[in-house]
A = this chain, B = another copy of it.
Amino acid sequence: MAAKKTPARGEADRLSLICKAIRRAILERALLPGDRLPEDALGERFGASRTIARYALGQLAAEGLVDLRRNRMATVAAPSFADARDIFDLRIVLERQVVRHLAGKLSDREVKHLQAIVEAEHAARHGADGTAIRLATEFHVALAEMTGKPILIRYVTEICYRAGLALSAFSRPHSSDCAVSEHLDLIEAIRTGPADKAADMMEAHLEAVASRALLQASDARGRDLMNILAPYAGDPG
C-alpha cells in the first residue's frame, strides 16, 4: 500500500512539506509580500486538512515569513523598510560570527562544496526563475552549517530567509542580489585569511547586497509607501 498511517523514518510529513514549500516559494519570489495564504487551499494542495495548514502557518509566522492577524487570511509577511534594514544589521552580526568560527579552518572538501554552489549560482545567473537567488542563500546557509553549531545554524538560516523576503519586497524583479565574484572572494578569504579580515569581508558583502536593494528602493518611495499602508487599509482601528 502507498498510504501508511505513520510517516516512515526519513519520510517528510505534510507539515514540514508545507513549510518547506512556502519557504522556498518565498525565497524564489514565486510568493511575494502580501500574497494570501488561505488555509484550505494550502491544505488541499498538499493533501492535508486545514488543521495542518494552520499549524504550518503558525510555524512560518514564528519565523517571520508569514503575517497572521486574527480572523484574517494569512499573508506572506511584508517587511517595512526599517524591518529590512534591521534584518540586514542582524544578519551581518550573525554571519560575521559564522565567518569568525570558520576562518582558516575550512577543509578541502568544504571549500569544494562551497565552490560548487557558486558554480551553480553562476550557471543559473541568467535564468528568469528564482534559482540563482535560492543558490545564493544556499551558499550562506552552507557556511553556517559548517560551524556545526545547531543554534547558530538555525538563526542564520532563519535570518537568511527573512533577508530574502526583505529583498523581494524592495529590490527590482529578476535582479540577482548576490554578486557571484563576491562569493568566490569570500571563500578565499575564509580559507586563508585571518578571522577579522574575513569577517570584515562578509560584512562588506552583505552591506553591498543591502545597499543595492535598499538604496534604490528608498529613491522610489512609492514602493515603500504601499508597504507601509497595506496593513492599515480597511482597518480604522
Contacts and interface: CB of A to CB of B under 8 A. Distances in A.
Interface stretch (A25-33, A86-94, A130-138): A86-94
Contacts of A70: 6-7, 13
A222 interface: no
A227 interface: no
A97 interface: yes
Interface residues of A, number: 32
A154 B58 CA distance: 16
A63 interface: yes
A69 B176 CA distance: 38
B9 A86 contact: no
B86 A149 contact: yes
B237 A90 contact: no
A59 interface: yes
Given A62-B63, A93-B97, 17 more contacts: A9-B237, A51-B51, A55-B55, A55-B58, A59-B59, A59-B62, A64-B154, A82-B149, A83-B150, A86-B150, A89-B97, A90-B94, A90-B97, A90-B152, A93-B94, A93-B96, A151-B162
Interface of A: 6-7, 9, 13, 51, 54-55, 58-59, 62-64, 70-71, 82-83, 86-87, 89-90, 93-94, 96-97, 149-152, 154-155, 162, 237
